[in-house]
Structure 1
Amino acid sequence: MSSDLDQLTQSLARNLKRWRGERGYTLDALAARAGVSRGMIIQIEQARTNPSVGTTVKLADALGVSITTLLDHEQGPQVRVVSGDQGVRMWSTEAGSHATLLVSADERGPFELWQWVLMPGEASVSDPHPAGTFELLHVTAGELTLVVDGIAHAVPTGSSVSFEANAPHAYRNEGEVPVEMTMAAQIPPAN
C-alpha cells in the first residue's frame, strides 16, 4: 500500500509542476487561486507530503483539470476502459464510508464519474467549487440528504438530483442503512 501512496505522491508532484507551468502560474498565483498555502504547494511539488483530498480538489479546480489528471496525466486513446479495481479511492472513514473516482475526461473542462458509499450517521462536506461546476447524483440504495448552501434535500433510492456546486455542500446519511450513489461532476476549464 505504501508503494501505491509513494507513486501517487510522485505523480502528483510531477503533474502539479507540469500543469502549473502549462498554465503559467507562479507559486503565489496558484496559492491565491486555490486557497492553498505556497509552502504546501512547494511540499507537494517536492513529493514531501501527501495532501488531503480537499487540498487536491482545490488545486485541480484552480488548474481546471480533474483529480485523475493531477494524479496521472498519461494521455491514451479516445476510448479508455477503466476496470473496477483501477478506481482511485479518494476518501474513506473507519466506519466504511468511501468515495472512489471511477473515470474522468478533460475535454471542455474536467468531467468525473464517482462512486460513493455513506454509512449511517456519516457525512462528507465540500467547499464551493468554481462557478459553473455541476454535479449529478443518482442514489441506488438508502436515502441521501443533500445539503446545498444550508438547505437540505431528501434524495431517496432511485432518485437523481443535479445542482450547481458553487456553494458549500454536503452529502449526509441520516438513515439506518448505507447510502450508495453515483456522482458525475463537470468542472469548467480554467480561464
Structure 2
Amino acid sequence: MDITTHLAARLKQLRQSGGLSLTQAAELTGVSKAMLGQIERNESSPTVATLWKIATGFNVPLSEFLVTPTPAPRPVYDPQSNGMTITPLFPYDAQLRFDHFAITLAPGAQSDSTPHEAGVIEHVVVISGALDMQIDGVWQTLAAGEGVRFAGDCPHSYRNAQQTPTQFHSLIHYPAKA
C-alpha cells in the first residue's frame, strides 16, 4: 500500500470509528469537509500543515498517516505544493509517546504549522543548511548543528531562505492521555 492510499484509508477509518460525519470531522480538525472528502477518496494529497491539523483534531500522532502497516524501507511524504519532504525515522512509540522525522525543506519553501495538541513538545535540530523558525511570532535562524526545543501547541513556521535544501530532524513528544 502506498503512502497516499494509506493516508486516505487511515483518515476514513479514524472518522468512522469515531462515528463522525465529514461535517463533524471538519469542525473537529479545522479542515474543510470538501478537502477531507477528497483526501479520503485519495483525490488530493494534503500539505504537511493540513495533515497536522487532522492529526491534532483526531488527537493522534502525525505518523498515524505517514507509516503504513507494512512500511517501505523509508516511507516519504512529499506533498507536491509546499517543498517539504518528511521521512519517519522512528514511527510513533506508544510507550515513550514520540515521533522522530527527517525533514527536507526546499530552497525558498515555508511551512506554517497550526498549534498542535496542548502539551506537545517539539525538538528541532538542523542537520545541514540553515533553518528560519518562527515560534509564537518570533523568528530565529538555526545553523547546522543547532537546535531548539519549544511548545508545539503554539503557532510555528519553518522557512528555508537559502539557495540549497535544508535538512533537519524533528522529535515530537506527545502528552500522556488522561
TM-score (norm 1): 0.73
Instruction: State the shift of 1:73 in Å.
Output: 5.7
Q: What does residue range 105-120 of structure 1 map to in structure 2 within 5 Å? A: 105-107=92-94, 111-120=98-107
More helix per residue: 1
Instruction: State the shift of 1:97 in Å.
Output: 5.7
Identity of aligned residues (%): 29
2:126 aligned residue: 139
1:60 aligned residue: 55
2:45 aligned residue: 51
Distance 1:125 1:152 in 2: 12
| Counterparts in 2 of 1:9 and 1:141: CA distance versus 1, 3 Å | closer
| Counterparts in 2 of 1:164 and 1:49: CA distance versus 1, 3 Å | same
1:30 aligned residue: 25
1:90 aligned residue: 78
Alignment-mate amino acid for residue 151 of structure 1: V
The unaligned stretches of length 5 or more in structure 1 are 77-81
Alignment-mate amino acid for residue 43 of structure 2: T
| Counterparts in 2 of 1:18 and 1:177: CA distance versus 1, 3 Å | closer
1:88–1:100 CA contact under 8 A, matched in 2: yes
Alignment-mate amino acid for residue 144 of structure 2: T
Aligned residues: 177
What do you get for the CA RMSD once the two structures are aligned? 3.2
Task: Return 150-159 or 172-181, whichever deviates more.
Answer: 172-181
Distance 1:138 1:34 in 2: 28
Q: Alignment partner for residue 142 of structure 2, among 133, 150, 155?
A: 155
Q: What SS class does the counterpart of residue 86 from structure 1 fall into?
A: coil
2:66–2:88 CA contact under 8 A, matched in 1: no
1:64–1:188 CA contact under 8 A, matched in 2: no
The unaligned stretches of length 5 or more in structure 2 are none
Instruction: State the shift of 1:110 in Å.
Output: 6.0
Bigger radius of gyration among the two:
1
